[in-house]
Chains A and B, each alone.
Chain A
Amino acid sequence: MMGARERMRQERKWTIVVFNVLLLVAALVQIYGLHIRGRQDLISAARSAVVEFVE
């Protein structure tokens, strides 16, 4: 059985992995949403998404 410290370390590691996956999906959703609404091409939508995020 995993020790408490090791378990917490594993939890943190997996949290970061899953968080990054979710972040990626959220970015794709946002880009696609901008693309659908603004009738932009995906590249422009991605650029808009980045600008919005930075702002």
Chain B
Amino acid sequence: MKKFTFKGGIHPKENKELSSGSEIQSVKPASGTYTVPVTMGGAPNTPLVKEGDSVARGQKISDGDKFMNCPVHSPVSGKIKKITKCTVTGNLTVPCIVIQEDGEGRTDFMPPLDPLKCSKEEALERIRSAGIVGMGGASFPAHVKLNPPQDKKIDYVLVNAAECEPYLTCDERLMKETPEKLIDGLAAVLSVSKAYGIIALEDNKEYLKPVLEDKIQKAGFSKYMEVRLVKTKYPQGSEKFIVSSCLGTEIPSAKLPADAGCIICNAGTLCAISEAFREGKPLIERVLTISGGAVEKPCNLKVPVGTLISDLRGNAFNLKEGKAPVKIISGGPMMGFAMADDSFPVAKGTSGVTFLTKEETSLKEESACIGCGKCINACPMSLNPVLMKREIQADSLEKSRKFGLMDCIECGSCAFVCPASIPLVQYFRIGKSLLREKMAAEKGGK
């Protein structure tokens, strides 16, 4: 059988067995307090509520009038405590709406809608008003993604079911427990985009292939979609390598998947789309993995968006005694954000929180580059990390760009293999922002 894979990449320890056996549990924060960021993907929203307002579960609480805006809904029936700035994933301080649950259980969902029978416009409007964004981490508004410019014909919808980040198992559990939702969501997206669906599954989750295929057959969609096993390799789950593995083509540099005739959706996103149509439920809950060597019983939790992780600790999960975490990561260890503490809210794009111990993570000091070139072999984009870094240090950003600076996807494969522990990704982030500034200044000058 043809192996679906890509060039470069790395094989980090997966550590998925820590949580892959744990069933998704629905939990709520003990405090009943929710900190919901006003904007979670897309253009900045404005709050539609004010302090003291009562809101129902599923009621829209922030939105904007631009195409790129994506509304946010209340995850709970309650009262607006305040609208204030809070720290969220990425250590950014952004406006958040703090809601206190009132226990009255009022819900305000939309009426169900059949995605296969409604018009494309109706379907897109439903996806937008349900506040669906990409749930893999990038939080790109789904209604924008599914509505590419007219001249870009979409041939394929690729389902990113690779979940290549170590530790994270939320998508795996979702596919195991509710495969029919994934298939239903994919059908909805296919009927909007009139394309062929390919579910890209890493072969470490091969056991899910028959499960999904069975559901596809039962739903009568065998002609429209298929499951493809791709090689387990990091960063298989980046959209660029989903495309190159499944189709053998590449997304042109600095372009979108639509330029390669593809739309790529995360497995969790499709489940949320299915719920938005069938139950009229906006994106107010998500599944995330709590894992890492410092966690007592790693688990997969379904929590309302806006739940503070610290409100779950001691309640839905516990940290091990005597094994203090040295890093708290929103996301997985390869691309996640290191947070100062765990009092940050679950957002629509939070796929997990990993508490890493000293033994698991790397705290080594940077030493001199010996020019081994391992980073070049590891780079899935075929860039030249070592040369990019040298040029950034030499302040020749243009040369660094020639070696691939602006094409870097910050996957961290280079830093992972570096024997000198050079924080290459950090160099590239700095280099990119310097180069962008420089280019903006040059543009302004002309």
Query: Does A pair with B?
Result: no
- Which residues of chain A have a CB within 8 Å of any CB of chain B? none
